[in-house]
Structure 1
Amino acid sequence: MSNKRPRSGSSSIDKAVVDVWQRELGQLSSRSFAHRLGGSEDLVLRLDLYRKLEKHKGCVNTVSFNEDGDILVSGSDDRRVILWDWETGRIKLSFHSGHDNNVFQAKIMPCTDDRTIVTCAADGQVMLAQILERGVVEVKTLGKHQARAHKLAIEPGSPHIFYTCGEDGLVQHFDLRTRTATELFTCHPVDDRRRYRSVIPLNAITIDPRNPNLFAVAGSDEYARLYDIRKYKWDGSTDFGQPTDYFCPSKLRGDEHVGITGLAFSEQSELLVSYNDEYIYLFTRDMGLGPNPLPASPVSMGSDASEIGGDHQLPASPSAMDTDEKVIPQDYKGHRNCETVKDKTIVNCIECHPHTMVLASSGIDDDIKMWTPKALEKAVLPTNIEQKPRPRGWMYRIASPQDLLLQLFSLQRRRTNSEHGGESSAPGRELLELLLRFNDNSDASSDDGGDTASQDDLFS
């Protein structure tokens, strides 16, 4: 008997009817009903463009809803932050972020009457914007990374606590009650295969909604790292040391050509990991590699349950088991994060409404697109989703002079390792192609900086 979930047709309609009936009888909570509704395949296939939000003058790098879902906040290469009444398309407030470079992330802190916004950007700065009376915005610097800061994560339900990560490998903890930044740790390579770099540049961070003490970070290598904030000693005498757990598909371990571009926790504490030039993987908590992911190293049998919390007790660490016995994570295929050339077809971010089936998306265009399930006809899924060719190695990932230098060191190491194997000419050809590719990318990419005065800088 098959356990596969029906994909479409009357079965999904019947299930929806049962969900409504259970909700009316109190057997299904409103929260669970909303989650099931949002995951309805019938609604997903009916998503259609609701409206475009147009005001930014550069690529829109971040979109995020407030708690109620009636306001959307966006940040852009134009260094401005805009609060939208997305349903009407009206701008509620537009202001300069205070950053010197592209805004990468902007979020409204919960339980603050939508008047506290935190941002991070390509200049490495972490900023706080307070919306005062009559639409006046007070912007202050909270902290700084020594390289680009791509993401921040707000502690669920907290109006005070959030974390940031940056390409300097640093993870910071912020408390708005004291407006102080605490440097928690710097992420280093797992082993000496990447000895040409001292830190792992980070570009993703997320917090477990079921246990806000746990958060995961990821970046330019293949490992997602899980940490427990309760292990940190706030007297400044020590940092975390080793992560509580590592996550990585077995087939990617040791692969220097992949990195992680996105992380997200589910409501069941599953960890979703998106790789560049690879697929998306869903890990459950029993799929961790333990505090030491190296296959050749002895690993203790799991972590102390008291350190993880009641909702996260772990079985014996799979790292100590035979590779064939490990639970394989679910993978999702269809597209890869493999191209960074600026193109009108690229979508950089997508955000779900907190309560209903509404999506906001943005990318290289300077507008934001809102999607609702209003199409009369369901979309037809493509049949050739796995036929896209893989990119040519790792050279597509060169986006900055720092990336170029790191790859040059890597090529030198590979040349040294292969000089006795008759392949010494290959790194030379690859180096030439690398330099040409970096030059092309530098010519094609530009930051749409600058600022213009706006008559929309009034909060209403």
Structure 2
Amino acid sequence: MPPERKRMAGLWEREVGGLPPRHFANAVMASKDFVQSLSIQKRLRKHRGCVNTISFNSDGRFLLSGADDRNVVLWNWVEAAPTFSFHSGHSNNVLHAQFMPFSDDRSVVTCAADGEVRHSQIREGGCATTDKLVELDFAVHRLAVEPGSPYTFYCCCEDSSVWLFDLRGKDAVELFRCRTADHFTADDIELFAIAIDPRKPCCFAVAGSDEYVRIYDTRKIGLDGNSNSGLATEHFCPPHLIGENKDGITGLAYSQTSELLASYSHDNIYLFSREHGLHFNNIEVDERLLMDETGPLPFCRDKLPIPKAFKGHTNQHTIKGVNFLGPNCDYVTSGSDCGRIFIWRKKDGELIRVMNGDRHIVNCVEQHPSGIVVASSGIDNDIKIWEPGEGETHSIATDDKVKEDMWLSTSSDSDGLIYNGDFDYVMDLDDIYLYGNADGHSSNEDEDGSSEEDDDGDISAEEDDDGDDSAEEGVDGENSAGDMSDG
């Protein structure tokens, strides 16, 4: 049946009571036509630096963002206006920010390139207070909030440590160090991603500077610092990368059914499920395998199940996330070094949409919790809101010739053309991550704070820098913190 007739049949079933409204809405939002109708409807402008993190609150009314300017902004994204903004208290780029559940959207946790994890509380009367929970020697890239808990969350750090936080007592506990072996001479794994399994909140995944995704069970992690605390219960890795030590992982995301996406640098995005686990396939993940000292592998790669791959984007120069889209995680999406957003169909890995999302690199793509509204951010100072309907036309054909052109245009030989030396490379893992300038200016911003012209001819408005270094700051928009919960 043609797509139009399917839609009309579904509409008729809904009207006569044969199809529940929620099922109808989910079917529409999961359709390819609906995803292909996305276009930029709004641009959120206030940050003065690369926007490194975006996330919706639980009901989708607000969007939270953090950037190189060290500010955190709460947005009324429908009105494309900031509701409240404050200085995070961090001394370097904010890398991740999250709302804590059941806090009326007034409790926010952040981590940054300065190695700090901070807790901010938005008070009545339009001010925010921030407390430093821990200060480490290396950047803290990612947070993972325990589902349904207003107090508990985790973080992962470049020094290989995984930490557990409980805001009731402001306790910070180092759970373990992620290493290639148990003894003290083992190499540490720089960690860039952490994600909690929504169906089993006691389990979480971490990944970083090697080719393995490690799964941990908090019920099996001791809090006494003993050497058994850092033993993973499962490992995932595409068969062709096992023991190669050629890649790293920048992003993880769980689906509603515990499928796990992993975005590899210099490679593809892979979808893992239980049957792809090395332990599940009776492969002993020992010190020799993790440290790539095995020589010939003690098992046959060809006998291992191959995870589904999502191909076409490039992920070599920043810490990019990866995500699912659709009411039932029907699609997979990621940013790319070429400044585009890629959307694949999950069931077969087909690339169905490529959209221009940034003049340089797209790092974050996040979906609204209850609708097909997508937010994206990257090196540009603004946040794009994508909704179905007429808007800025940024879609790109996905035929083989265009895909080939994109691969050629985003090869490593073009790095100098993109960045012109405006970023400082600070990592050894094939320059996988770029820190923006510590003063909050991105490469596309002039010294006076004005921005270059967008590809579509729009000029970003100049904004005052509200990045005061104080830990407590009042509201700098028209709305106070007291108005925030009312939207």
TM-score by length of 1: 0.76
Q: Specify whether residues 44 and 136 from structure 1 end up closer, same or farther in structure 2 by C-alpha distance, changes over 3 A only.
A: same
Residue 200 of structure 2 aligns with which residue?
211
Question: Which of the numbers 367, 373, 383 marks the counterpart of 1:368?
Answer: 383
Amino acid at match of 2:265: N
Which AA in structure 2 matches 1:121? Answer: A
Q: Residues 342-353 of structure 1: matches in 2 within 5 Å?
A: 344-353=359-368
How far is 1:124 from its partner? Answer: 0.8
Q: 1:445 to 1:87 in 2, by over 3 A?
A: closer
Structure 1 match to 2:35: 44
Deviation at 1:60, TM superposition (A): 0.6
Q: Highest CA radius of gyration, 1 or 2?
A: 1
1:94 touches 1:458 (CA, 8 Å); kept in 2? Answer: no
One-letter amino acid of the structure 2 residue matched with residue 372 of structure 1 = E
Distance 1:220 1:228 in 2: 21
Q: How far is the alpha carbon of 1:348 from its aligned partner? A: 1.2
Amino acid across the alignment from 1:403: M
User: What code does the residue aligned with 1:369 have?
Assistant: K
Match of 1:158 in 2: 149
Separation (CA, whole Å) in 2 of partners of 1:16 and 1:284:
35
CA distance in 2, matches of 1:134, 1:57: 25
- Distance in 2 (CA, whole Å) between partners of 1:22 and 1:190 is 57
SS in 2 for 1:42: helix
Residue 11 and residue 54 in structure 1: after superposition, are their counterparts in 2 closer, same or farther (change >3 A)? same
Q: Percent identity?
A: 43
- How far did residue 365 of structure 1 move? 0.8
Matched, 1:329 2:307: yes
**Offset at residue 37 of structure 1 (A):** 4.1
Q: Give per-residue Cα distances to partners, 1:160-187, cap 9 Å, x unaligned.
A: 1111001011110111122111111111
- Corresponding residue to 1:381 among 393, 397, 413: 397
Separation in structure 1 between the aligned mates of residue 73 and residue 252 of structure 2, nearest angstrom: 25
Specify whether residues 372 and 401 from structure 1 end up closer, same or farther in structure 2 by C-alpha distance, changes over 3 A only.
closer
Answer yes or no: is the 8 Å Cα contact 1:79–1:101 preserved in 2: yes
1:62 aligns with 2:53: yes
2:170 to 172, 179, 184: 179
1:43, distance to aligned residue in structure 2 (A)? 1.2
Cα 1:63–1:42 shift into 2, 3 Å: same
Is 1:338 equivalent to 2:316 in the alignment? yes
Shift of 1:446: 2.5
Q: 2:412 aligns with which of 391, 410, 413?
A: 391
Shifted more, 286-295 versus 365-374: the winner is 286-295
1:202 corresponds to 2:191: yes
Aligned residues of 2:61 and 2:77 also touching (Cα < 8 A): yes
User: Contact between 2:145 and 2:154, CA under 8 Å: does it hold in 1?
Assistant: yes
Q: State the partner residue of 2:44.
A: 53
Aligned 8 A contact 1:351 1:361 in 2: yes
Which among 77, 88, 98 is matched to residue 68 of structure 2? Answer: 77
SS at match of 2:125: helix
Counterparts of residues 265-414 of structure 1 (less than 5 Å)? 265-290=254-279, 292-293=284-285, 322-340=300-318, 344-375=359-390, 379=395, 381-383=397-399, 384-387=402-405, 388-389=407-408, 390-391=411-412, 403-404=427-428
In structure 2, distance between residues paired with 1:231 and 1:358: 38
Tell me the alpha carbon deviations over residues 397-450 of structure 1, each in whole angstroms, 9 at most, x when there is no partner: x9877634x88xxxxxxxxxxxxxxxxxxxxxxxxxxxxx99xx99x9523338
Letter in 1 for 2:200: N
Deviation at 1:277, TM superposition (A): 1.0
RMSD: 3.7
Unaligned segments of structure 1, at least 5 residues: 1-8, 298-318, 408-436
How do 1:2-21 residues align onto structure 2 when only pairs under 5 Å count?
10-11=2-3, 14=6, 17-18=9-10, 21=13
> What's the CA shift string for 1:213-237, capped at 9, x where partnerless?
1100000111111111110223454
Counterpart position of 1:458: 480
Amino acid of the residue matched to residue 397 of structure 2?
A: L
Paired residues of 1:174 and 1:180 also in contact (CA < 8 A): yes
2: CA distance, partners of 1:23 / 1:182: 55
Match of 1:112 in 2: 103
Kindly provide the amino acid, as one letter, of the partner of residue 359 in structure 1: V
Unaligned runs of 5+ in 2: 290-296, 319-336, 340-357, 441-464, 469-474
Q: 2:124 aligns with which of 106, 111, 133?
A: 133
Q: Please point out which of 219, 233, 251 is paired with 1:244.
A: 233
Structure 1: distance between partners of 2:182 and 2:398: 41
Aligned residues: 394
Shift in Å at residue 286 of structure 1?
1.1
Which structure carries more helix by proportion?
A: 1
How far apart in 2 are the matches of 1:103 and 1:374? 33
1:260 touches 1:275 (CA, 8 Å); kept in 2? yes
Whether the aligned pair in 2 keeps the contact of 1:46 and 1:379 (CA below 8 Å) is no
Cα separation, partners in 2 of 1:256 and 1:237, compared to 1, 3 Å: closer
Q: Which stretch shifts more, 12-21 or 247-256?
A: 12-21
Secondary structure of 1:403 counterpart = coil
- 2:68, 2:436 within 8 Å by CA — same for their partners in 1? no
TM-score, length basis structure 2? 0.72
Q: 1:296 to 1:99 in 2, by over 3 A?
A: closer
Find the counterpart in structure 2 of residue 427 from structure 1.
none
Cα distance in 1 for residues equivalent to 2:207 and 2:225: 24
Q: Is the 8 A contact 2:159 2:190 kept in 1?
A: yes
